[in-house]
Amino acid sequence: MQHSTHTLIVGAGPAGLAVAGRLAKMGLPHILLEKGARVSASWHQHYERLCLHTVKEHSDLPHWPMPAEYPLYVPRLGMIAYWENYVQTMNLEPQFGQEVISVRRINGEWVTTTRTDVFASPNVVVATGYNRVPYQPTWPAQAQFKGNLMHSCAYRNAAPFKGQRVLIVGIGNTGAELALDLYENGAFPAISVRGPVNFIRRDIAGRPAQRTAIMLGRLPNWAYDFIARMVQKWSVGDLTPYGLTASPYAPSEQLRRFGKVPVIDIGTIDLIKQRKVKILPGIQQFNEDSVSFTNGQTEPFDTVIACTGYRAQVEDFVENAQPLLNERGYPRSLWFDDEAYKGLYFCGFSTPLSGILRNIKMDSERIAAHIQGA
């Protein structure tokens, strides 16, 4: 079926909801598409103990603050309830089960095709996020491994792994939190780490790291990096005796240069220092019931969980998107001045230390204002 609207929004996660909320407040016509059956569908599938690392006053959506009774760091189910209530409060009407197959520029307008419908619009906002597609590398001889090999996207809680030896591959935020969850629930976790790691404590001297990052973000980069490094040395300490190599860059510089988010710690560091979570180097190969590592060591494992992240892959459905992407596959800008991309917007693809959800709220304001003025 053919439809027309002023602005089409792809994705009803926090970025899509933020843009839709802005446009609704402005009275601008729009259609919000979501491939899942619910808003923020991916959050319904995330591991159960997931909780924000950002404070609630910097994690809300436009025009509607978080409930006063919410804790400072909102857990997964609280965020889902907030987003679902936001849809009702802002009178948004997402169309569910609408997986976008292609977004193409035809005769000066955008034509968006789903499995059942076609939408024509002068504006399209892609809000599918930086973590749309799970990324799972392959390792030598992994087919002969008789244990359980899975991606972290399939992990819900630690109950199935009680008493097991579990190898986590990757020490991003998910890997660090799964190690904590597994240890606290009777498993024996280890983490395979290939390169340098940057840790930040979620709270430093009782102050949320996000609030500090927002304040330091007003400084020149060199000053921000220097202070960040000093605070990190004081609060985290030297982790090299435990098998972790320190990054040569401050957390802020690492994110700025390479787009790599530091690990926001909520307890894993202490477990590593207590030798309750073992750090191992990169994987050399899999064996039937064990894994061999690049240092020649071999350890037995029952389960291996790949915490190897996700990819945005907007080029899968946005035609000719490749020139718009940086080396990490993220859009380089919220919109582009080239006539071939006029009316195409991207929201929710940046990962600043000051908070992804905070940035979504600010970027959605800029996008909505640009759409209104176009």
Cα(117)–Cα(114) distance, rounded to whole angstroms? 5
Cβ count near 154 (within 10 Å): 12
Cβ count near 338 (within 10 Å): 10
> DSSP letter string over 42-92?
HHHHS-TT-B-SS-GGGS-BTTBPPPTTS-SS-BHHHHHHHHHHHHHHTT-
For strands 123-126 and 7-10, give the pairing: parallel
Percent of the chain with pLDDT over 70: 100
Q: Is the pLDDT of residue 212 over 90?
A: no
Q: Which residue has the higher pLDDT, 353 or 151?
A: 151
Query: Which residue(s) pair with 291 in the sheet?
Result: 286, 299
End-to-end, the C-alpha distance of the chain in Å comes to: 27
What six digits make up the tokens of 229? 């490094």
Cα(73)–Cα(57) distance, rounded to whole angstroms? 10
Instruction: Count CA atoms closer than 13 A to 297's CA, side-chain side.
Output: 11
Q: How confident is residue 357, by pLDDT bands cut at 50, 70 and 90?
A: very high
For strands 310-311 and 133-134, give the pairing: antiparallel
**Which domains are present in the chain?**
2-132+312-373 (3.50.50.60), 134-306 (3.50.50.60)
Give the per-residue pLDDT at 255.
84
251 sits in which H/E element: helix 251-258
Give the per-residue pLDDT at 303.
98
Mean pLDDT along residues 49-72: 95
Cβ count near 160 (within 10 Å): 11
Mean pLDDT along residues 201-214: 89
Cα(330)–Cα(186) distance, rounded to whole angstroms? 38
* Averaged confidence pLDDT in the chain: 94
For strands 188-192 and 278-280, give the pairing: parallel
Give the per-residue pLDDT at 292.
97
